[in-house]
Amino acid sequence: MSGTFPSSHDIYLFHQGNLFHSYRMLGAHPLTEDGLAGTRFTVWAPNAREVRLAGSFNGWQTEQHPMHRIEESGLWTLFVPGVTQGDLYKYEVHAHNGEIKLKADPYAFYAELRPNTASIVYPLDGYEWGDIAWNKNKKKKGAVVYNNPLNIYEVHLGTWKIKGKELFYTYEELATELVDYAVELGYTHIELLPVSEHPFDRSWGYQITGYFAVTSRYGTPDQFKMFVDRAHQQGVGVIVDWVPGHFCKDDHGLRLFDGTPQFEPQDPRIAEKKQWGTLSFDFGKPEVMSFLISNALFWMDVYHVDGLRVDAVASMLYLGFGNNEEDPPLNRDGGQENLEAVDFLRKLNETVFSEYPQALMMAEDSTDWPLVTGPTDQGGLGFNYKWNMGWMNDVLEYMETETHARKHRHNLLTFSFMYTYSENYVLPFSHDEVVHGKKSLLDKMPGDYWQKFAGLRTLYGYQMAHPGKKLLFMGGELGHFAEWKDLWEIDWFLLDYDMHAAMHRYVKDLNHFYQAQAPLWQLDHSHEGFQWIDADDEAQSIVSFIRQGVKKTDFLICVTNFTPATYMEYRVGVPRAGTYTEVLNSDAVPYGGSGQVNSEPVKAERVPWHNQPYSITMKVPPLAAVMFEYSSTRKAAPRKNPSL
Give catalytic residues, as residue numbers: 311, 364
CA dihedral of 226, 229, 231, 236, whole degrees rounded to 10: 160
- Contact of 621 with 597, CB cutoff 8 Å: yes
- Contact of 282 with 333, CB cutoff 8 Å: no
Query: Buried b / exposed e across 314-339, counting CB within 10 Å, b at 16+?
Result: bbbbbbbbebeeeeebeeeeeeeebe
The DSSP call for residue 612 is: B
Please name which of 385, 583, 544, 402 lies closest in space to residue 462, comparing C-alpha atoms: 544
* Three-class secondary structure of residue 586 per DSSP: coil
d(CA 273, CA 517): 44
Please name which of 319, 407, 311 lies closest in space to residue 362, comparing C-alpha atoms: 311
**CA distance to 53, 531, 611, per residue, from 553 (Å):** 69, 14, 18
d(CA 333, CA 335): 6
Task: List all residues 6 or more positions away from 395 whose beta carbon is below 8 Å from its beta carbon.
Answer: 412, 413, 416, 459, 462, 463
Task: List all residues 6 or more positions away from 117 whose beta carbon is below 8 Å from its beta carbon.
Answer: 90, 104, 111, 199, 209, 250, 252
The DSSP call for residue 106 is: T
d(CA 210, CA 228): 20
Task: List all residues 6 or more positions away from 307 whose beta carbon is below 8 Å from its beta carbon.
Answer: 237, 239, 240, 359, 360, 361, 362
d(CA 18, CA 423): 29
- Give me the residues paired with residue 242 across strands: 310
* Three-class secondary structure of residue 33 per DSSP: strand
The full DSSP string for 232-267 is HHTT-EEEEEE--S-B---TTSSTTTTSS-SSS-SS
- Contact of 208 with 252, CB cutoff 8 Å: no
Provide the greatest CA pair distance for the chain. Answer: 91
* Three-class secondary structure of residue 496 per DSSP: helix
* Three-class secondary structure of residue 579 per DSSP: strand
- Contact of 56 with 80, CB cutoff 8 Å: no
- CB atoms inside a 10 Å sphere around CB 110: 25
- Contact of 128 with 297, CB cutoff 8 Å: no
Type and span of the H or E element at 221: helix 221-233
- Contact of 73 with 5, CB cutoff 8 Å: no
